[in-house]
């Protein structure tokens, strides 16, 4: 195998003169993480690769549990309480009725870990796992499906609530600084994303499927919370770019395209990359004939203005709930003997895409899912061509992948030392039934019945071809988010509560342990007091691992 070493050219983001006390040095956001994990993916690239190598193939067998922290959400004794919702009635629990599952990636800055569950944010001592403070948000509603974590600017934290508020806290004390409503919960928006801080921009997105509302991404001032810019993921009126791909103004203004997952950023190009969600109505497409731009797309936005520079649509006229919100990973590589600035994504629809991140031009579109049966191939732009026969039908039609996708939100990883892109994938079938034949359906408009699964697979993909180099099958269930390191390790998890270290070049298992709950988001790593730690959330707990003798 050819070893490809890739780099990202980074330039310093200009920050305003007035900054809070510099608990987080903004320069940390511009390099691969070592003694911190300062943003959702560790750095802006989305690679989830660490240059740390104290834990490596020769000693990973000696990895031991250092501490565990169990999160208890709600109005616990000592919790700092905020929010716009009502206080719990006497004897009523304020805990999340969906239970507790840590889907956030904890940030680690100056020896403190910050993480979330819906309505809750914690600060935990990264040395010991002792709780430092806990903030609880009294909610007005919203779907409490999960929360990806916090963003950080100086001494300020930012997180989103299920009822669509952006909340800012003092990182040292957990006290609330301000909160701003970003969407109306009565329209059934709900927010799960982790904010991404770029310079003096706090970039947030939101979700929603039940009501047919438009998606958006917006930027807020970290000091005041004031709105700086807002980008709608579909045109708002006739004549706007992309409006020709919708039949009328009503369909585009109710068209979906949610921005569920944190994006990535190139500081040299000053472009922010994010994937957009599926169009609405979700599975019934008769009222929105056309490609429905800019849903199911990867878009590049100017970080200072929010204006779109380019787009690539992964699923034109989607009728299977295949949003393209999976992490768009950026790195530099060599294509046809020439250095290129690249962006790669393993998409929910079963395709691997490689794009030029300067222009958005497609380089590779290759199906990684062997069972995929909905596409007739790709067009001249690299976008898949849907097979109309696989749209939901009244008698039903068998489709792979199902609405859960061949890949989903748990983050992938790219290892510049192997040149391989790693992602958790799933091979399954569903039968899709059209249930709403009205010319203007609402909501989902179709039903789905699972019809068999071949299980989940961890794949190592050659970015130049999109072909799978090696695979590890997990018959028990889905895979969690990923982490690669310069110690020649790939950390992954599965729904059977295992944390596993693989050889990233060959896929051999080198170490594993059983956790106290199912893993979802990816592990993170950092160096603290001369020790490298691996931290991962499983179920309702954080687990920190380090070497018994570093």
SS3 at position 187:
helix
DSSP state of 346: E
- How far apart are the C-alpha atoms of 70 and 538, rounded to whole Å? 10
209, 321, 323, 494: which is the annotated catalytic residue? 321
- How far apart are the C-alpha atoms of 366 and 377, rounded to whole Å? 9
Q: Tally Cβ neighbours within 10 Å of residue 99.
A: 12
Question: What would the two tokens of residue 310 be?
Answer: 């380019």
- How far apart are the C-alpha atoms of 467 and 290, rounded to whole Å? 30
- How far apart are the C-alpha atoms of 327 and 346, rounded to whole Å? 8
- How far apart are the C-alpha atoms of 494 and 406, rounded to whole Å? 15
- How far apart are the C-alpha atoms of 304 and 291, rounded to whole Å? 28
- How far apart are the C-alpha atoms of 535 and 36, rounded to whole Å? 12
- How far apart are the C-alpha atoms of 211 and 298, rounded to whole Å? 23
- How far apart are the C-alpha atoms of 183 and 188, rounded to whole Å? 9
Question: Is 321 designated active site?
Answer: yes
DSSP per residue, 351-376: EEEEEETTT--EEEEEE--TT--SEE
Report yes or no: 432 and 450 within 8 Å, Cβ to Cβ: no
Q: Counting beta carbons within 10 angstroms of the beta carbon of residue 441, is it exposed (0 to 12), middle (13 to 18) or buried (19 or more)?
A: buried
Q: Is the peptide bond before 281 cis (omega within 30 degrees of 0)?
A: yes
- How far apart are the C-alpha atoms of 254 and 405, rounded to whole Å? 23
Report yes or no: 28 and 159 within 8 Å, Cβ to Cβ: no
Report yes or no: 126 and 113 within 8 Å, Cβ to Cβ: yes
Query: Strand 489-493 to strand 483-485: parallel, antiparallel, or no bridges (unpaired)?
Result: antiparallel
- How far apart are the C-alpha atoms of 453 and 478, rounded to whole Å? 11
Q: Report which of 325, 36, 369 is spatially closest to residue 193, judged by C-alpha positions.
A: 325
Q: Is the peptide bond before 294 cis (omega within 30 degrees of 0)?
A: yes
Active site residues: 321
């Amino acid at each position: 195998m050819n070893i490809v070493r890739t780099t990202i050219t980074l330039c310093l983001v200009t920050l305003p003169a007035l900054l809070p006390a510099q608990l987080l040095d903004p320069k940390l956001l511009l390099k691969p993480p070592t003694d911190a994990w300062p943003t959702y993916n560790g750095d802006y690239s989305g690679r989830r690769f660490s240059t740390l190598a104290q834990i490596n193939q020769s000693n990973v067998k000696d990895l031991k549990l250092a501490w565990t922290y169990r999160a208890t959400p709600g109005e616990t004794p000592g919790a700092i309480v905020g929010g716009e919702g009502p206080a719990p009635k006497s004897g009523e629990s304020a805990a999340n009725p969906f239970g507790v599952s840590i889907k956030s990636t904890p940030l680690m800055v100056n020896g403190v870990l910050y993480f979330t569950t819906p309505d809750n944010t914690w600060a935990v001592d990264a040395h010991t796992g002792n709780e430092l403070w806990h903030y609880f948000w009294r909610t007005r509603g919203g779907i409490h499906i999960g929360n990806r974590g916090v963003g950080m600017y100086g001494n300020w934290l930012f997180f989103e609530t299920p009822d669509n508020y952006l909340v800012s806290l003092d990182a040292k004390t957990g006290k609330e600084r301000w909160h701003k409503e970003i969407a109306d919960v009565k329209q059934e928006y709900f927010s799960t994303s982790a904010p991404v801080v770029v310079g003096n921009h706090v970039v947030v997105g939101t979700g929603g499927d039940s009501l047919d509302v438009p998606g958006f991404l917006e930027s807020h001032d970290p000091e005041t919370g004031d709105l700086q810019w807002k980008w709608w993921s579909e045109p708002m009126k006739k004549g706007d770019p992309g409006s020709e791909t919708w039949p009328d103004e009503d369909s585009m203004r109710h068209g979906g395209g949610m921005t569920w997952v944190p994006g990535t950023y190139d500081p040299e190009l000053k472009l922010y990359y994010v994937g957009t969600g599926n169009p609405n109505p979700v599975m019934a497409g008769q009222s929105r004939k056309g490609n429905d731009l800019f849903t199911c797309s990867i878009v590049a936005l100017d970080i200072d203005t929010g204006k779109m520079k380019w787009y690539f649509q992964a699923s034109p006229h989607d009728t299977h709930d295949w949003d393209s919100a999976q992490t768009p990973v950026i790195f530099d590589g060599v294509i046809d003997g020439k250095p290129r600035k690249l962006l790669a994504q393993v998409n929910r629809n079963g395709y691997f895409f490689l794009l030029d991140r300067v222009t958005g031009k497609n380089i590779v579109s290759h199906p990684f899912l062997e069972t995929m049966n909905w596409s007739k191939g790709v067009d001249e732009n690299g976008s898949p061509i849907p097979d109309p026969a696989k749209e939901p039908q009244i008698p039903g039609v068998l489709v792979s992948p199902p609405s859960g996708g061949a890949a989903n939100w748990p983050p992938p990883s790219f290892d510049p030392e192997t040149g391989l892109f790693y992602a958790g994938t799933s091979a399954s079938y569903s039968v899709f039934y059209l249930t709403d034949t009205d010319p203007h359906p609402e909501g989902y408009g179709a039903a789905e019945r699972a019809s068999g699964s071949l299980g989940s697979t961890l794949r190592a993909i050659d970015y130049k071809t999109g072909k799978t180099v090696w695979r590890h099958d997990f018959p028990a269930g889905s895979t969690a988010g990923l982490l690669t390191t310069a110690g020649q390790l790939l950390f992954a998890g599965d729904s059977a509560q295992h944390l596993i270290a693989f050889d990233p070049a060959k896929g051999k298992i080198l170490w594993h342990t059983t956790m106290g709950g199912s893993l979802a988001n990816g592990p993170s790593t950092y160096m603290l007091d001369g020790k490298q730690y691996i931290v991962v959330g499983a179920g309702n707990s954080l687990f920190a691992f380090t070497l018994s003798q570093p």
